[in-house]
Structure 1
């Protein structure tokens, strides 16, 4: 091969190498599908599972490895796997740990796509899926069967906001594990972003985060994460990650990395604003109940007070039952600053009405439930917006 290259080849193979010594705060964005090896021996010696080297873009670049390490550190874990969404992270856990004949326990107030995934596992994959009262606490021991392999938890429920006793659930599961049963507890810890609830310190085995929320903070990224403290467990989950072909964009990974330094400041601002708005709503005659874990009458408040250090921006309200669905829908439509949309953790306030009676068995009450995400606007302006929307209730 001569030193003189054809024009087309020169478009692909450049002789230029940038000088060393460049430094900056942002983590570089390393995009790649193909990863290059210096020789055949290096190619054959690489193992994607130990993350000590790079093998293929699907298994990570320095950008995603850095994000995984930082997320694990935030949660107090040791290992992390990224997924294209929070739901993909949930699926990774389920398909990584369950097989035909196993039993799965899911709380009644779980994120609804997790519920639908549980139904799918039962219908098409032969995994028994049962739903339990989120406030069951140590009573979960009575529900565990010999073939129960996984107990999902969520704190609080992302619509009805009950706060479960995670330490009590973990204690019951741990007792079965000591007795020889292969059973684990997974937690959807998205509501607290790993900031306000230290899951591993309370006995959880696996933490799932929807990085779409506070970690990103920009309402522009879909991503999920699974975090553990157990090397054998992360290997099991890693096999599911590989077999399902889960990869994330390095540009998206960069956006999440960019959001992490301000996450705690934003979380605290969401928390402060939400408490102001929720307290005002609690004084209004249109509202029968405010479902905010920091308020004494929210189910599981005592557990929240014992185990949490903050609350973030998400809570729900139940309207007085004299208001029909059409009226509360009109209320939501009349909001100006609050936009109608799912998710939370971004700068913009959101509002969504739910048909809670159809979502939860044994739901007490007939009022219409509306969930608020308090963004980073001035709480006084948000209160004024809600007040003007109340005028359309009639």
Structure 2
């Protein structure tokens, strides 16, 4: 064998690490290029088949491991990662909606999902209509021949209503309509979405799965192979890759997620009970409390609660006063997102967010 040049030796070194190394952490496989044994193997490889590897964007052992674990936690069989929760929502929309279709969205939806839905209506010829999150089986009256997808949240963002997911799913499935759920609040631990009729589950892994306030990532999970294939095609066409180091951080956090979630739940209920007894607060928007819309549904369908809830101040307090309350908190920071180790408080102008919002008084979203 002829002697290799220095540069060739740098790239084509003969050393191969011995087999048999074992450790608890999942290895981090950084890759854009994936190598094939020969040309026949390259030509035989199908990127839709996750039993082998094709290209770094489609997955490495690191991403496949996280996807499998997330699907298992949720009780699904197929999972795809996305670079954020919003990217995961986008993946679902582009997988199942086309020009001329109709999508139903709860009026208490996550704000970025609302912006995306409005953009689909404005630029893509997709009708986005908003419904009362407490509509239950009554959603059947809103389903049109071109309705393809119904979004749900349990509970809803900021205002925390708990919808009757089984009733919505039954009405949708009777008309052949898919139902997607943003299940971020329960982390797949406190609400078994597929067992209650949901077809597609979306998570912002940024929250409890990460738990460190340092990762942006989302996931889409399903049990249906036909649904999974459409998600795979959207994932590929949108080019939604994630970084392996971020995937590792989520994998590292998963073993403690249930313990953290239960601690968040217990601490949040303690703080929420304190708020409820304050004369400044007129309503506790926490699913585990009786004055939260959908509380009975939460008791029926959920096994726990997250560390996120809202409080409604008495209408005698001005916005300036409720803002000053948030500014005066010593151990709470002001910032969006949640699920990490630090408590947060964010005031919302919810009257401007919801056309049907009848409550008076300022609202603050609290994360414990």
TM over 0.5: yes
CA distance in 2, matches of 1:75, 1:21: 32
Instruction: Write the deviation string for residues 258-294 of structure 1: whole angstroms up to 9, x where unpaired.
Output: 1110000000000000000000000001111110000
Aligned to 1:135: 134
Aligned to 1:16: 15
CA distance in 2, matches of 1:361, 1:234: 35
Instruction: Write the deviation string for residues 133-153 of structure 1: whole angstroms up to 9, x where unpaired.
Output: 000000000000010000000
Q: CA deviation at 1:191?
A: 0.2
Aligned to 2:31: 32
CA distance in 2, matches of 1:296, 1:203: 25
Please point out which of 168, 178, 197 is paired with 1:203.
197
CA distance in 2, matches of 1:235, 1:91: 16
Secondary structure at the counterpart of residue 365 of structure 1? coil
Q: CA deviation at 1:299?
A: 0.2
Instruction: Write the deviation string for residues 72-126 of structure 1: whole angstroms up to 9, x where unpaired.
Output: 0000000000000000000000011000000010000000100000000000000
Aligned to 1:96: 95
Q: CA deviation at 1:3?
A: 4.2
Structure 2's unaligned 5+ residue stretches are none
Please point out which of 299, 319, 334 is paired with 2:328.
334
Secondary structure at the counterpart of residue 77 of structure 1? coil
CA distance in 1, matches of 2:334, 2:201: 29
In the alignment, does 2:276 pair up with 1:277? no
CA distance in 2, matches of 1:16, 1:50: 31
Aligned to 2:45: 46
Please point out which of 239, 242, 247 is paired with 2:236.
242
CA distance in 1, matches of 2:359, 2:175: 36
Aligned to 1:317: 311
Structure 1's unaligned 5+ residue stretches are 178-182, 375-394
Please point out which of 283, 286, 297 is paired with 1:289.
283
CA distance in 1, matches of 2:10, 2:366: 52
In the alignment, does 2:122 pair up with 1:161? no
Q: CA deviation at 1:364?
A: 1.7
Q: CA deviation at 1:13?
A: 1.7
Q: Could you tell me the TM-score, scaled by structure 2's length?
A: 0.99
Secondary structure at the counterpart of residue 339 of structure 1? coil
CA distance in 1, matches of 2:346, 2:247: 28
Please point out which of 211, 220, 223 is paired with 1:226.
220
Secondary structure at the counterpart of residue 215 of structure 1? coil
The count of corresponding residues between Structure 1 and Structure 2 is 368
Aligned-pair Cα RMSD in Å: 0.7
Structure 1 outlier segments of 4+, above 4 Å: none
